Amino acid sequence: MIRFKREALEKRLDERRSQVTPHTYLHLQKVIEQGAEGIDPNTLSHLCRDLDCLPTDIVEYR
């Protein structure tokens, strides 16, 4: 099972909010709301790129 580390993810999103476009910010929120279960590797890669982090920073495996 895979899931997002909510607190770390929200912290990163708040930190990067001023550095991304409003469209990108809304897209990031949408991806986060959908959850990590079944997330596409490309989507995870883009999420990490936009948040300037590694997958292990925002995702945990159970």
For the segment 5-56, what is each residue's pLDDT rounded down to a tens digit? 999 999 999 999 999 999 999 999 999 999 999 999 999 999 999 999 999 9
pLDDT at 62 over 90: no
Give one word for 46, left, alpha or beta, with left for phi > 0 and alpha for psi -120 to 50. alpha
The CA-CA-CA angle for residues 54, 39, 51, to 5°, reads 30
Global pTM reads: 0.86
